[in-house]
Amino acid sequence: DTPGVDGFGVRMLAPTLLQAASEEIKKEFLPPIAAAKVMWCEPWSEPDAGSDLAALTSTAIRKGDEYVINGQKTWTTGAHRADWGFGVFKTDPAARKHHNLSFLLFDMKTSGITVKPIPYMHGGYIYCEVYFDDVHVPARNIVGQENEGWAVVNLLAGFERSGIDQIMRMLQGLE
């Protein structure tokens, strides 16, 4: 049983990993995306950052061989169904904007992650709030370099607009 083609994984994350991730990350995360075995979500937006992603306040502070994430993301599509998430977090609170963010991959079942639906008037939902309370993520799950996540964000944004996931859905349907 496969969940189908995941737009977040296929359209945005996989091409970003191909260009910006370490070989270790590529080997671990690309095969499950290609096999449609994993669903991804993109916890990016924050309640007080609006459309200014660089103004986010959620942190991922490095402690040894892991990052400890704290904060809140909102309007995260499909977080309640996702196996994994990719997000941008402030890793150097003292650094200037755009030079203090890192792009991390994390298992949505990690202790400290809480997903709360944002229901429509009829009770259904697709959007969620995601809370991070001392969430421990291996440091090897970084894409790109620490504090250089803004470059990864811009790379991913280009792929987000590509529509490759729609092409893959059509190919899957034809098969």
**DSSP sequence for 41-55:** E-----TTTTT-GGG
**Tell me, what's the pLDDT at 5?**
61
**Tell me, what's the pLDDT at 1?**
36
Can you tell me the distance from the alpha carbon of 60 to that of 141, in angstroms, rounded to the nearest whole number? 12
Low-confidence ranges of the chain (pLDDT < 50): 1-3
> Of 1, 34, 6, whose CA–CA distance to 18 is shortest?
34
**Tell me, what's the pLDDT at 58?**
96
6-44 per-position pLDDT tens digit: 779 888 999 999 999 999 999 999 999 999 899 999 998
**Tell me, what's the pLDDT at 163?**
73
The structure's pTM equals 0.89
**Tell me, what's the pLDDT at 165?**
64
Side-chain-side CA neighbours of 33 within 13 Å: the count stands at 24
Can you tell me the distance from the alpha carbon of 52 to that of 30, in angstroms, rounded to the nearest whole number? 29
> Which residues are the active-site residues?
160
